[in-house]
Amino acid sequence: MYKTDVRGKLIDGEKSLSQISQEILAPIDAKVPKWWYIAMGISLVMLALGVKSIYITLTQGIGTWGVNSTVAWGWEIINFVWWIGIGHAGTAFSIFLLILRQKWRTAINRAAEAMTVVAVFCAALFPLMHMGRPWLFFYIFPYPNTRGPLWVNFNSPLFWDFMAISAYLLISASFWYFGMVPDFATIRDTTKSKIKKAIYGFFAFGWVGSSREWLRYEGLAFVLGGIAAVLVVSVHSIVSTDFAVSIEPGWHTTLFPPYFVVGAIFSGFAMVLTLVTLMKKLYKMGDFITENHVDAVCRILVFISLIMGTAYITEIFIAWYSGSEYEMYTFFKNRITGEYAIQFWGMFIFNALLPQLFWSRKVRRNLWVVFVISLFINLGMWFERFNIVVTSLSKNYLPASWAEYHPTFIEIGFFIGTLGMFSAGVLLFFRYIPQIAISEVKMISKYNTQQTDHLKPGHHHDYE
Amino acid sequence: MRNSTFLRHLMRLKTFAFLLFLSFFIVTSIPITASSAEDDTDVIAEDHSHIDIKRGERFFKGLLPKDRKFESCVSCHNLTHTDTLNWNPSAMAIAVKFAGKDFSEFQSAVMQPVGKKMEASHKDFAIEESDLKKVKLYLDELAVTGPPSAGPTINQIIIFLFLGLLMTLALLDLIFFHKIKYRYVTVIILIVAVIVQVKMVADAAISLGRSQNYAPDQPIKFSHKVHAGDNKIDCKYCHHTAEFSKSAGIPAMELCMNCHVLVREGANSGKFEIAKVVEANETKTPVEWIRLHNLPDHVFFSHAQHVGIAKVDCQKCHGDVAQMNIMKQTSDLSMGWCINCHRDTKVNFKDNAYYDNYMKLHDQLKGGGIDTIRAVNIGANDCMRCHY
Amino acid sequence: MKTYWRSIEELANPKELRREEVREEAKQKSMLMRGDNELNAASRRDFLKTFGFGIAAASIVASCKRPVDKAIPYLVKPDEINPGTANYYASSYFEGNEYGSIIVKVRDGRPIKIEGNTLSSISQGGTSARMQASVLNLYDDARFKGPSKSGQEITWDAADAEIVAQLTTLKSQGGKVVILSSTIISPSTRDVIQKFIEKQTNTEWIQYDPVSASGILEANQKSFGSAFIPDYRFNKAKVVVSFGADFLGSWLSTVEYTKGYTSARQLQNDRKEMLRHYQFESGMTLSGSNADVRFPIKPSEEGAIVLALYIAVAKSKGGQVLSGVQSTVDISDLAKDLLENEKQSIVISGSNDVNIQLLVNGINQLLGNYGQTIGLENSLRTKQGIDQDTDRLLSDLKAGNVKALLVWNANPVYDHPKGKDFAEVIKKTSLSVSFSERPDETTALCQYVLPESNLLESWNDLEPKAGIYSLSQPVIAPIFNSRQVQVTLLKWIGADNNYRDYIKTFWKETQFPKQKNTTDFRQFWNTSLQNGVFETVLESKLVYSPEGLSQAANQVKPVVAGLEVALYESVAIGNGKFANNPWLQELPDPVAKISWDNFAAVPVAYAAENALKNEDVILVNGIELPVFVQPGQAKDTISVALGYGREIAGKVGDQTGTNLYPFVGIDSGTRHYFLTSAKVEKVAGKLFQLAISQTHYSMEGRPIVRETTLDEYIKNPVSGNEIKAEHEEKSVSLYEAPVYNGHHWGMAVDLNSCTGCGNCAVACQAENNIQVIGKEQVRNRRIMHWIRIDRYYSENPENPKVSFQPVMCQHCGNAPCENVCPVAATPHSEEGLNQMAYNRCVGTKYCVNNCPYKVRRFNWFQYVKNDKFDFASNSDLGRMVLNPDVTVRSRGVVEKCSMCVQRIQEKKQLAKLEGRAIAEGEIKTACSQSCPGNAIVFGDLENPESRISKLFKDKRNYHLLEELHTLPSVGYLTKVRNTKA
Amino acid sequence: MITNRKYLVGVFDDEHTLKDAFQKALDKGVVIEEVYTPYPIHEILHGMKNKTNITTAAFFYGLFAVVMLIGGMYYAAVVDWPLHFGGKPFNTFPSFIVVTIVATILTITILTLFTFSARAKIFPGKKEEIIDIRATDDKFIILLDQDKMGIDKPEVTKLFQANGASEVYEKESN
């Protein structure tokens, strides 16, 4: 049973159901604000830079990047893991908070899921483009062929990874989409524009809100939610096996799967916080995304950052405890004190120490501070991946082959391109898709109304 | 290494672009204007009018003169590729042969036939010298421009496009128009169309870079049926390096002369083809055969291993060559084809002292753990047997 | 019926192509020999397959162009070419500097690989990097395409006529003609020159070596009455003392010396003794890095030290007691060691100072080394240039006394310290002819360029050592319109100009009587040609006399204060003649691991004092040089390599590095390869990027190169390798060890025999079509070499111990790379090879990451047919060197050492055809075959009797990073140093 | 939809009144054709006595996928073309698990989506059958088939109105 007094009110302002629809749908019908165009313009310029970088990569080769025979993975894998991590937010939000029966998630999960889909798209670009011969990517499918048939290597973490990402992309996209179907129906039925009616009508798949639809819809949500919960854990665990299964010092550790999953959720939640604060300010969704929501996310971040800190320290401890000189060198001479110390300490401070500010209620309630800290966490998580990918590779077993890695403008351009793609995607989401799950918000709105007589003890409301 | 494949991919892209282009035409139902203009203005026959060449062509094709009593040239001397072996020299072969020679030589060749076969077919010829000159002009032009292309068959493309159209209509109906009452009809159309299209694409993709049934025209109408079939010449008489070298080898021109020093006229081909062999030997200009069996660059195949060591019959891979007038690539030469043969082929394990190394396998054979050693058991399917 | 297009071009414009074809037909056919048309249209292997298939056709063309009947195959290969099968011809390598007896592998009419000839007592099957790379010189785009006069094409006949006319005029006027050549060791060529001089009176023949042995020659003239270089027998020595002579890297006959040196140091088959090596030197050379005791000294210190050593030895041996300047180094231990090993030691000096060489002779004489470790019979003839001759030539030229200059294989404008003066005066001669094969600085100034044929296109005979002869035979018809110089000279004097017949006759007269095996000259000739070598035993009547010794002692100069610049020949580039060879340019310097440039190696302490770091730029006597901080560089010295900074060499060699020949000093008639009192200043803010392919020096205490000392080793053969037992004890596996049915190919590397010369890398490059990627990409740490030599320093950075370790794919039984490839492009073979299927690879690079040895190479770019990588593989001619048995890798795939699987397959097939087991040592990888130190052994680990199986059981054997349990198929034998306890 | 059916439509403003009216109507034996709500209400779904086996189906899809995947991988890696990777045995079962989990999830998702689409009749291009357009916004609708509702029309109207229906009207389907 949910107690509103713990978390405060979920929706500010006494709103009727119709008001909820109207206010959430306002950005779709309203005149597009100028900043949107500016932001979209910037995003597209960034995207164009990315497209150009990809073009150069495709036509000339990966040699245009800074990677070399020693550090064969660079920014592209860092960015891949980073984006995949961010892409964990949506599912983690929806699923874990659903399992934990946290009703406040309803205001945020739509945005989080949208972010997930765009982020996973961004992420998927990197492994594809970092292949030497991306036009032969289909070799990775285990399909019957006329080569024997020659199958794939089921032992390879990259194959697992490929499966995991494809599955995750498909599932998170369908989860997101089917969550929107009733809302599309709402738009269809409330809009005055004929074009919108036709378009949203098409995407609503003929939804009318009948009980037989809702019944199956609930069933579908249950199934997708259930398996997606497994996925949240499995995807980043599998991504972590890209490293953990290898023999590189600093990679070869059993700590990685939980460490990566928690890290992913951490970065995802930080990105959610970034977006939500923007939504709250830019679209005046303050009534739905209340200070309480922000507060709740901050509290989760504090908790996760403690886990992150523990993971970092555990990693270092294990390196020492293992007695392996290669591990010890990687951690003590290369990460903590070596030429990559900046990235290590950036990671440690931004991820493990800075979020501790959220212990203070004052900080949690200051939207700007929260926004800035969320950005730092994103940066810190990027450093974490840099720390893992580059430092281990650059100085591993044979000192003769130690080499440095410096990114080139092509790699940086590619990353900026995905940032542009992400922000463009998010802007389109703001513009054309209900930012908040209307039907779900309506469902919880009753907890805000005066009709408390239906909340009599013994009267059970345990759906969801 | 994969460069050529990549180019072929590009070719596919071209086809795709072509498809798009074509579909655009169909959808907008604009009649296609046949504008394959003959813009060959820079022919080498500068001092001859285009009309003369055209007339020569018409004569060659039997369209001129109107009161013609004898066979058209093209009826024997084919212009385009034929599936079955036409023993007569092709128009192109004649054109190239007489390209650098003057008219009188050409005239005497046509009008004073040598050899039984030619005599028989040319005997009724009553050709005006002016006509023959035009024919010569046409042939000279032909030698430069090459044979007219038969044009790619577009049946497949039309089927593919039609299916695409069908799919689009079915989808549109399913989603928007709802004209067809029974929805399963559209659904079945859709599914069948998709399956057929996928099959077509898959087939095209699989045959990419392969050329099963490839049977190009060769510079000499050499018939394996006549040599290996009718006259029962052993394969290794000509392809004598097959047993100990990677390459089976194309016989030297002088090897041909072992027989053709005497055999100067063929029962089917007359003198024209054999004369090429003789000429090649005399002028020291080797004949440039067209290669049939082209493995990709990254595959290393050894005839010695297969013919010399494993004693595989030539026919197993090359088909019934003794029945082929036009040599043809019988097998698809796909990797799966190699691999599956290696899985089945037994190794002559006991008689070759080389295999004495394989102590463990010998023990197993003796112990009865296994009854035969197949190629795959001694690593015939390792990557680095063929790719290195 | 489908219509098949032969090429994309045809699809695009069939008619156009056909037209082209008809017009080009005749041209194409004439080029079939070179296969150019095929190369244009199709890929390399398409060409080869077509070529192979049409080889009969080609042979008709070839029979006109290729001297088939004149070349006799070596060993068992039948007397005819079979498509797809290589032929091997014995020949000889000598391009004015170093000699090697070689076997040329010819595939489908193209020489593609140089291998060592095991029948030669000199190179003994070994090669140097330059010999390996020389096959690429044949396919150098820069080569002259035909004779020219003042840059205008000219026919041979016209050129001959014009020159003969001029020579006749000169003769009648008594004008002096000078033939300036590199050292010529060909007896028949010397005969030709002699004949030319007889005809063209008033002709002087001067031999010129850019880096000469003038000092030794002149000293021996004094000591023995004959100017010769003795025969150093390192295999018989127990102690070797070298004063600045890099006998393993660049001094005289390196392959021979490496063979001898390593055989005297290897400890296989329970040998318990080894040679001890002392090295005095300024820069860290290859020899110095292998030395047991190394003394970093200034070049000007050398004289005093040699003198001190002489005095110490003379004191106990009762020799002539001399006095002179004081030594800065305490050599008493060294003298003691030498005296303990009388008749079993060698003392050498690389100095050109006659005084020093006289003292060295004195020491060797006192120690009784002559006739024992230093032979006087088969003296080395590869350097005969006397420095004074060239100086005299220059002054003659300046004075206008020389009317005609014929330059043959010499480039004084570039490599003489007074090159600028040469450039001035060459223009003044009335006739200047260059016989150079390719453009160079001197040729550019000559009126006539009459290009000589490449050594692989030429007949020749050689006498690298007195009484040891070898033959060169052409293995391809001249690619360009070139002609052997001997033929040219014979033509000019109106003699019969078939040089093969000339040599044959010459041998019939001179060499044939020297043997008693056969009375049939044809048999003798064929055997000699087939073997490539003909060796006779000589006796020496030379007697030592201590003449000039005391004078020499008095003339030994004291140490000069201030910075000194030591000049040396680098192992790869040498004297700079082959600067246009991309394989050599890309081969990292064995010690500094820098390719594509020369650099100023500065001592560690000096760098610290002057705040210098790698890639800074310093000004040395007005020349800008990039800095490289070199551990072991002697205090107050800077070392810079010669042979760089070519102005006119070709697209690869032009402007790589800086020319240091102007720094070479001339003193008392000989050239000295160092510079005293150098002025050095830092160029502030300027950086020069160096292609450094190894940046970390230390092993970080890891058991990578395992070492011990001889004393320890004798006590306990496991010493230095104790950790192996620990690793084996702790080894636990979930899985059973891999089982191999027939073969398990393996490799053993004896670190005691590896000198680190890098020859294997070039041999591998030639065998496996490894692409050159250029300076920028090497700097980006993307070098493609499948075998690299790791170099580590330990102990004192001012004079460190150096360890070399060749690292190639270890073909691990539990290969980490195999597990992580998603597309199954790199599985394990039934014969223990870690396979790499390029055509399956999609390029995730995960295997590159997961290889703990970092031996996997990624094709970051398209390196073949790419204008951005304009080296050997960007021209049809350059690609002729490609091995048709190895795939040329495209962009985006991973490659690595395959243990020369094409050779394994070839020999396996041969064994199967012949129905026999594979013989021990029958299969050789390119690296093991060419190794001058016999450090690499390849074989079948499944065969318990094989050499490799025995080496794997050796107590010294260990595996790299065995604690990772990767179960490599490559083993290393610990390095044993012979340092005195 | 079969033509010309007469419906009775009850419109409610909030969940609570709807639930009361719904419960009461059921108690009176009214046959309720369908209920349309802006969000799912558990009591209604329960009261409509509809059942869905979508979860059961999903379980079997999963079972099917697991068997197929493990079988397929075993076939490919052990039976069809065994390859040596890093000294591991051909049957590297632990590696198969990872792929099995993920691919099973993928299979379940896809098949369940299709099942949902088929059973709930939610698919692209479906024409919506709107009874009351406000049902997706803020109104709660109870739909009765006048021929089958098992009770008089006025009685129902009264019942609805008594229980807080804001509107009750008749509607004919076309």
* Interchain CB distance below 8 Å, C828 and D89: no
Are the Cβ atoms of B381 and D81 closer than 8 angstroms? Answer: yes
Contact A124, A169 (CB under 8 A): yes
Give residue C58's pLDDT: 33
- Interchain pair D83, A216: CB under 8 A: no
CA within 13 Å, CB half, C143: 24
| pLDDT for res B24 | 47
The CATH architecture one would assign to domain C707-977 is 2-Layer Sandwich (3.30)
Q: Which of C300, C311, C326, C294 is nearest to C359 (CA)?
A: C311
pLDDT tens digit sequence for C146-188: 999 988 999 999 999 999 999 999 888 888 899 999 999 999 9
String of b and e for A123-157 (b: at least 16 CB within 10 Å)? bbbbbebbbbbbebbebbebeebbbbbbbbbbbbb
Which chain C residues are closer than 8 Å to A159 by Cβ? 822
pLDDT tens digit string along A116-155? Answer: 889 999 999 999 999 999 988 889 988 888 888 889 999 9
Instruction: DSSP for C231-260, please give it.
Output: EE-GGG-SEEEEES--TTTTSS-HHHHHHH
Q: pLDDT by residue (tens digit) across A380-389? A: 999 999 999 9
- The answer to whether the CB atoms of D87 and C824 lie below 8 A apart is no
Which stretch of DSSP H or E encloses residue C791? Answer: strand C788-794
Candidates A87, A175, A75; CA nearest to A124 is A87
Interface size A-D, in CB pairs within 8 Å, comes to 207
Chain C 941-980, CB below 8 Å of chain A: which residues?
A: 960-961, 964
Residues C540, C542: Cα–Cα separation, whole Å? 6
Residue C693 identity (one-letter amino acid): S
Tell me the shortest Cα–Cα distance from A155 to chain C, in angstroms.
Answer: 6
Determine, for residues D87 and C829 on separate chains, whether the beta-carbon distance falls below 8 Å.
no
- Reported confidence tier of residue A57, pLDDT bands at 50, 70, 90: very high
Question: Nearest chain B Cα to D123, which residue?
Answer: B175
Q: Is ipTM beyond 0.90?
A: no
Per-residue pLDDT band for A458 (boundaries 50, 70, 90) equals: very low
pTM: 0.86
Which of A213, A216, A230 has the CB atom closest to D105's CB atom? A230
Please identify, in words, the CATH class of the domain defined by C215-380: alpha beta
Asked if C527 is an interface residue toward chain B (Cβ–Cβ < 8 A), one would say: no
pLDDT digits (tens, 9 = 90+) for C850-871: 999 999 999 999 999 888 898 8
Which member of A211, A443, A451 has the closest CB to residue D45?
A211
Q: Which chain D residues have a beta carbon less than 8 Å from that of C832?
A: none
Give the pLDDT score at D156. 80
Q: Tokens 């063309």, residue? A: C61
Hey, are the CB atoms on B291 and C839 less than 8 Å from each other? no
**B175/A contact by beta carbon, under 8 A:** yes
* Contact: A400, C777; criterion CB under 8 Å: no
B-C C-beta contacts closer than 8 Å: 214
Q: What share of chain C in percent tops pLDDT 70?
A: 92
- Chain D residue with minimum CA distance to B175: D125
Task: Kindly list the distances between the CA atom of residue C569 and the CA atoms of A200, C385, C575, C702, in Å, as whole numbers in the listed order.
Answer: 78, 17, 6, 33
CA distance B313 to B315: 5
Complete domains list, chain B, with CATH: 3-26+153-206 (no CATH), 50-145 (1.10.760), 214-333 (no CATH), 334-388 (no CATH)
Using an 8 Å CB-CB cutoff, list chain D residues near C815: 86-87
* Parts of chain C belonging to CATH 3.40.228.10: 215-380
Beta strand residue intervals within C808-929, DSSP E: 857-858, 894-895
Phi first, then psi: give them for residue B315, nearest 5 degrees. -65, -25
Give the percent of chain A with pLDDT over 70.
93
- The mean pLDDT of C707-718, rounded to a whole number, is 91
Best CA proximity match to A184, nearest among A24, A42, A77, A75: A24
Looking at the predicted structure, is the pLDDT value of residue C223 above 50? yes
Instruction: Nearest chain C residue to A328 by CA: give it.
Output: C700
Position C51 scores a pLDDT of 36
Whether the Cβ atoms of residue C522 and residue C497 lie closer than 8 Å to each other: no
Q: Which residue of D has its CA nearest to B173?
A: D125
Chain A environment of D80 (Cβ under 8 Å):
149, 151
| Euclidean distance between CA atoms C421 and C441, whole angstroms | 13
Per-residue pLDDT of C294-338, as tens digits, reads: 999 999 999 999 999 999 998 888 877 777 788 888 888 899 999
Q: Does B339 touch chain A (CB under 8 A)?
A: yes
List of chains touching B (3+ CB pairs within 8 A):
A, C, D
Q: How near does any CA of chain A get to the CA of C731, in Å?
A: 15
Q: What is the mean pLDDT of residues A304-321?
A: 91
From the CA of B173, how many Å to the nearest CA of chain D?
A: 9
The residue-averaged pLDDT of C765-777 equals 92
Amino acid at C194: Q
Residue of A nearest to B7 (CA): A135
In chain D, what are the domains? 6-50+128-172 (3.30.70), 54-120 (no CATH)
Among candidates B2, B175, B336 on the partner chain, residue whose Cβ is nearest the Cβ of A147 = B336
What CATH number labels C565-692? Answer: 2.40.40.20
Contacts of D86 in chain C (CB under 8 A): 812, 814-819, 828
Give the torsion through C-alpha atoms of C549, C551, C554, C558, to 10 deg. Answer: -80
Nearest chain A residue to B6 by CA: give it: A135
Instruction: Calculate how close chain C gets to A243, using CA atoms only, in Å.
Output: 9
Q: Taking 80 as the threshold, does the pLDDT of residue A187 lie above it?
A: yes
* Residue A100 touches partner C, C-beta closer than 8 Å: no
The whole-number pLDDT of residue B27 equals 43
SS3 C1: coil
Q: Which CATH architecture has domain A13-140+155-452?
A: Up-down Bundle (1.20)
Among candidates C1, C60, C887 on the partner chain, residue whose Cβ is nearest the Cβ of B286: C60
**C940 bridge partner residues:** C745
Divide the 388 residues of chain B into consecutive groups of 10 and give the mean pLDDT of each group. Answer: 50 54 45 37 51 82 74 79 73 79 82 75 77 83 69 68 86 75 81 87 75 77 86 86 82 80 80 83 77 82 90 89 85 89 88 85 84 87 89
Give percent of chain A above pLDDT 90.
Answer: 28
Residues 38-97 of D with CB under 8 A from A: 38-42, 44-45, 48, 50, 52, 54-55, 58, 72-73, 76-77, 80-81, 83, 85-86, 88, 92, 95-96
Going from N- to C-terminal start, the domains of chain A cover 13-140+155-452
| Interchain contact C78–B (C-beta under 8 A) | no
Contact with chain C for residue D1, Cβ under 8 A: no
Q: Suggest the residue from C27, C32, C912, C949 to mutate for an interface test with chain B (most B CBs closer than 10 A).
A: C912
D contact test, residue of C733, C818, C834, C969 with most D CBs within 10 A: C818
